[in-house]
Structure 1
C-alpha cells in the first residue's frame, strides 16, 4: 500500500514532528512505500508564538519528505491533494489543531474522494477551545473515511462529531522519543545515584510546553503546601511568557525554590536536565496522550502524574511513580509529600524501566492500515 502522511516533519520540532517521522520510517520498514507531505509554513506566528523549527533534528529525518504546504497558499493545498490522489492508496492527515482544518479541507478538495483518507487525531478538540473549533473539526472529520484517536475518550469526542457517518478507531500512541540522529536508540540514562544529593533536597522537573491545561499553577500551589525541602524546575516554552507564573511563585513564597527555565530544550540538553531531577511531575488538568512519562523513564526518573488522559496507563502506582487527582492542589501536595518522605524516591527510581516500543508500534500500524 502506498501511504502519504500529511503533517509536520523536520525541521519542525516537538512530538508531532517526531511521531510523523517515526511513523513514516516504520511504515516503510514493513513494506509500505511512504512519503511525508510536510510544511514550508505551518502556522501564522500570531497563532503559535513559540519557535516552530529547529536547526538540528530530534531523530533520523525521513528521506521521502516534501515541504510544499504553506498556510497562506490555498492553491498549494489543492495541488497537494491532486498529487496525493494520484500517488497514494491511503492519505493520513495528522491533526493537532483546528487551525489546520482550512488547509486540510483544501487537500481533500484536491483529492475529491479518489483515495482513502484517515484523520489521525492527536487532539480531536483543543484543551483550550474557541467557539469555532467544534464546527471546524466536524467539517473535517465528516469528510474523511476514518478517524484514528489515541484514547477512548478522544474516540467518543470524534464519534460525537461525525454523527455515525465515519469509522472511528483507537490505538494507543506509541513511543516516539527524541534521539540524536541518526541513531534510533534511547538517550543516555543517568546512573541511579545521580541525584542522591547530600543536602536532602528533592528536585522535581516539569518538562515541555507550558500551557494552562498542563496545570503548572496547580503544581506551584502544591509546592507551597508541601514540604519545604522540595525544589522545582519548569523547563520549556511558556505559552504567553513566564511572568504570570513567576508572579504566582513569588506570591506563594516559593520563588527561591522554583527555577523557570524558559525556552525549547534541545535534545542534547535533555540528559543533564533529567539527571538533575529526582522525579518528573505532570500536573495536567486534562490530557490526551503524552510521551513525557516514557521520556522520564528513559532517563531513569519516576513520575508524579494526574489521573487524566493516557497518563495513568503508563505510571505504575507505587512502583515507578505516584498518581493524584487532576486540578487538585491538596492531592498533588500529598503525592509530593509522599515522594519526599523516607526512601520513597530511591524505591520508585529502582522500579523505573524504559519502555519497549515494538508492541505499541505493531498494534498502531495494524489499526491504522485496517
Structure 2
C-alpha cells in the first residue's frame, strides 16, 4: 500500500457555530494544498454546512453534556466533567488512529484540553492554535490557569493570531508562532456615490464591543459639525441573554441622544461584504483588546478607511495616519474628532483606503494558509 504524500491533519473545535475560530478553520482547510485536512467537531451545527459546501471532510465526535457545561466548576460537577473529558478523550483517540492522523491542531479552549490529551496519548504531535486572549474579562482564574497550563504542557508548539494573544498565554508557553487571520482581497469596491454619508460598525452586540461608545461619539460628532445627513449603520445581533439586554439599552440610548431616526440597526447579516461596502467609513470600538479584529481587515480589503481602537490585534495591523486611524479604547471625544476629521477630508479617506489595501495583502488567504501549513508540517517532521 502506498502512503499518502500529504499528511492527514485533524482540526479540532468543540463548537460547530459560525463564529470566528470555526470560520477560520473552514477557510484554511478549504484552501490547504500541502496537507489533507479533516475537521473534527464536538457537536452538530451550522459549520457542518459550511464545510460540506467547501468540500472539506469532517466528522463529529459529540461531547458529553458535562464537558459542555460551563457551570460544573467544583465538587461533584467538576468530577463529572473530569470523567466525561476522559471518556471524550478515549473516543477521540480512537478516531484519530482510525483516520491515520499525523498532526492534531486544536482551535478552541475545550479542544485544547481534550484534543491535546487525545493527541498526546495517541502519540500524535499537537499544535494548539489560540484565537482568543487568555484571561480576558469574564474568565475565571481557575479556567485561565487550566488553559495556560494546558497550552504549556500538551502542544508541541502554539500558533497565536496576534502578539496580544501570544502575550496572554503566560510565561510557561515557550514556542509560539504569530500568524494573523486570513482575508480575501477582492477588487476594490468603488467609493459610494449616495448622497447620505454612512458610518458603519460590524460586530456582535455586546458591551465590550463598544456600540454604546460609537453611538455617543456619533452624536458628539454631529454636534461638532458632522454632515447632518450622515447615517450610522450598526450590523450585528445579540448572542446571549445579557447581550439582549445590552441591545435594548442601545436602542434606548439612540433615542436619548436624539439620533434614533438616523441609526440603522441591521441585525445579523450573512453578507458582511455588502454591509461594509455600503459604508464610507468603518469603525471598530472594542473597549478591551481584541485578539485579532477580522472586520478591520475586511474593511481595509474593500477599500474602506477604518477608525480602530488602539489596543489588541487591530493596533498591530493599523498604522495610525497611514492606513487607518487609531483612537484610545472607550474615548468618545477622540472617536468623535476622528469621525469629523475623516468626513471633512476626502483626500485623507482615499489615502487611508489605498494604503489599507496594501496592508492587507500580508493577510491574503494563500499567504496565511502557507504559514499555517509550514508550522503543521514542521510538527510532522
TM > 0.5 fold call? yes
Q: Distance in 1 between matches of 2:138 and 2:335?
A: 25
Deviations 1:107-133 (A, max 9, x none): 615752611112211014254323243
Q: Which runs of 5+ in 1 are unaligned?
A: 42-51, 178-185
8 A Cα contact 1:249 1:258, kept in partner? yes
Aligned equivalent of 2:219: 224
Structure 1 pair 353–156 and aligned structure 2 pair: CA distance change class (3 A): closer
Q: Distance in 1 between matches of 2:51 and 2:339?
A: 31
Structure 1 pair 90–22 and aligned structure 2 pair: CA distance change class (3 A): same
Aligned equivalent of 1:64: 57
CA RMSD of aligned residues (A): 3.0
Aligned equivalent of 1:82: 94
Aligned equivalent of 2:194: 197
Aligned equivalent of 1:17: 22
Q: Of the two, which has the highest radius of gyration?
A: 2
Aligned equivalent of 1:137: 147
Residue 235 (structure 1) aligned with residue 235 (structure 2): yes
Q: Distance in 2 between matches of 1:139 and 1:3?
A: 24
Structure 1 pair 302–126 and aligned structure 2 pair: CA distance change class (3 A): farther
1:138-287 paired onto structure 2 within 5 Å? 138-145=148-155, 146-160=157-171, 163=172, 166-177=173-184, 190-192=189-191, 195-198=192-195, 201-227=196-222, 228=226, 229=228, 230-239=230-239, 240-241=243-244, 242-263=247-268, 265-267=269-271, 270-285=272-287, 286-287=289-290
Q: Across the two proteins, how many residue pairs are aligned to each other?
A: 334
Where 1:34 maps in the other structure, the secondary structure is: strand
Q: Distance in 1 between matches of 2:320 and 2:54?
A: 36
Instruction: Normalising by structure 1, report the TM-score.
Output: 0.79
Structure 1 pair 15–189 and aligned structure 2 pair: CA distance change class (3 A): farther
Structure 1 pair 135–317 and aligned structure 2 pair: CA distance change class (3 A): closer
Segments of 4+ moved more than 6 angstroms: none
**1:106 deviation in Å?**
6.9
8 A Cα contact 1:151 1:172, kept in partner? yes
**1:215 deviation in Å?**
1.5
Structure 1 pair 54–130 and aligned structure 2 pair: CA distance change class (3 A): closer
Deviates more, 1:122-131 or 1:275-284: 122-131
